[in-house]
A and B are shown apart, each in its own frame.
Chain A
Amino acid sequence: MTAFIAIGRVTIKQTLRLRRAIGLLLLAGAPAFMYLMAVLSTRGNLEFSDENAFEAFVGITIGTFMNIAVPVVTLIIATSVLGDERRDNTMSFLVLRPVSRYTIAAAKIFAAFVETFAVTGIGALALSLIAAFRLDDFRYIAPLLAGTAVATAAYAAVFVPLGYLLKRATLIGLSYVFIWENGIGAAVPAVAGISPWRIGLSATTGLAPERFVDELPTFATGSITPGAGGAALKALVLFAISVGFISVFLRNRDLAN
């Protein structure tokens, strides 16, 4: 446990630098800012009803927060937690220790999750709080935070090994998000089932009032059934698979050039 915590702490300290943290917070907070602008600009406008405000909240949650902000923030952080070890030649420091490869892998993914959720969670909180005050309905805060946590965990499980294996992990990750998930995944419901942001969204829809589900466009959820338990389980399975993959790589691959 000492090694797990030590790896996690050092990973966060190394990868979440101040400038980067500010940039990522701006990115994660952009959807909340957009929604705030929409709310403020329509204040007193009787044609912009509560219903319109709710639609805007759901639209921004799906259209910019869950499917762009969360994956991009996670991609940037998660690909660096092992990628930076390789780039900075610190891999030997980490792996030539009496620490099981599973511990290293799990600590790295968990650190990526904690670090990313500290950013995406703030974005989710800001967005849902603005909606809560505009709609006078606070029932969306916890579901959006839970969905964001699940999506962040699932993305971390995908992007940490990607960062370790590929030098151009960010580019590949962006292609994955925009072409595979948001392009093909929007058209093919079966693909949507393995899309992390949709897994997260299914947790949100499972916990949020029915009205949220009714408002969702079909491309958003694809074949996924709303449900927080199932979504959390999928994220856990992805986490376990990722830990296994990374452990195998750490055991069987050269860890230096």
Chain B
Amino acid sequence: MTVASPAFAANPSVEVDDVSKWFGQKVAVSGVSCSFGPGLTGLLGPNGAGKTTLLRMLTGLILPSQGAVLIKGQPPRTNVARYREIGFVPEESALYTNLTGQEYVAYAARLSGISNPDQVARRAIDIVELGDASDRAVGGYSKGMRQRAKVAAALVHDPEILVLDEPLNGTDPVQRAHLITLFQELASRGNTVIVSSHVLQEVERMTDRVIAIVDGKLAAAGDISAIRRAMSDIPYRVAVDCDRPRQLGAALLGNDAVNSVSVEDGRIHVETSDLAGLGKVIAGLSRDLDTRLSRFSPEDESLESVFRYLVGRR
């Protein structure tokens, strides 16, 4: 299943048109079409799905074998001035280890043509909260600090489009929360922010808009729950917590809205093809049985399950 229209942003700044990339016999990305506009979009996929290859094509770091990538209507390679509008955080280290954090970010500013690079670099470093370590060589930074230094270098020229490849790798929970807030703020200001990740919970915290890549192909796109709902050909799993789980579980058996029921560790797990119908049935039964519901939630509306489904389906 491919949710076609949600793959395209209403006001796109980055357009991907039937893009494929192969390295020798290996196809890394195959026939992907989508677009990215203002706001935050999560690019999801398991390791090796083709996310990094796609992001590298978006930035012009590698060329598509077929198809085209346009940044504001132009291929990035043909007009280097476009790079004023792009900030890129690569997955790999990409650090000049002999430079201090300040020098590293100021170098990015100088290459971006900024007139007061040292001041602007200082500001970018403060944004990622790396000020205390800015005079140390980046070669001695921890993984999380390196990630933040890369983010600062990508932000230093205030780009309209920010492409981040696994930017939260190696960051601790506090740093992660800070970076997620930063990306969300940039997106809310109208920047196009594209964040790739294979850690599904990360993306769930950041955004609802997702483009999922599996085996180099566009597997799904759109709102996470919409993607899940569009998968109407597979049943939902719902978790129900109440004070009398065995009685409610037994009552659910044989109901039209219920495919199967199990009770494990005091929690009822229901499989259904009719989520709305199940909700009504459970509400009625809990009233009849005089039981108190404390939870009724789909178990698999997480990206993890969407992923698992998409990967398994292919």
Contacts and interface: CB of A to CB of B under 8 A. Distances in A.
Interface of A: 2-3, 6-7, 10, 13-14, 17, 88-101, 251-257
Contacts of A13: 96, 98-99
26 contacts: A2-B110, A3-B111, A3-B113, A6-B107, A14-B97, A14-B98, A17-B98, A88-B95, A88-B96, A89-B90, A90-B96, A92-B56, A92-B94, A93-B90, A93-B94, A96-B60, A96-B83, A97-B108, A97-B112, A98-B81, A98-B112, A253-B63, A255-B61, A255-B62, A256-B62, A256-B90
B62 A96 contact: no
Contact of A14 (B61, B81, B96): B96
B107 A10 contact: yes
Nearest to A89: B92
Contacts, number: 84
Contacts of B62: 254-256
B77 A6 contact: no
**Which 10 interchain pairs have the tightest Cβ spacing?**
A97-B111, A6-B110, A254-B62, A89-B92, A98-B83, A98-B84, A92-B90, A89-B94, A256-B61, A96-B88
A254 B112 contact: no
Interface of B: 23, 56, 59-63, 77, 80-84, 86, 88, 90, 92-99, 103, 107-108, 110-113, 153
Nearest to A90: B94
Nearest to B95: A90
A7 B111 CA distance: 8
Contacts of B59: 92, 96
A85 to B, nearest CB: 9
A152 B61 CA distance: 31
A67 to B, nearest CB: 32
Contacts of A99: 80, 83, 111
Contacts of B83: 96-99
Given A89-B93, A97-B80, 8 more contacts: A3-B111, A13-B99, A88-B94, A90-B95, A98-B82, A99-B83, A101-B80, A256-B56
Nearest to A2: B110
Nearest to B78: A251
Contacts of B61: 91-92, 95-96, 254-256
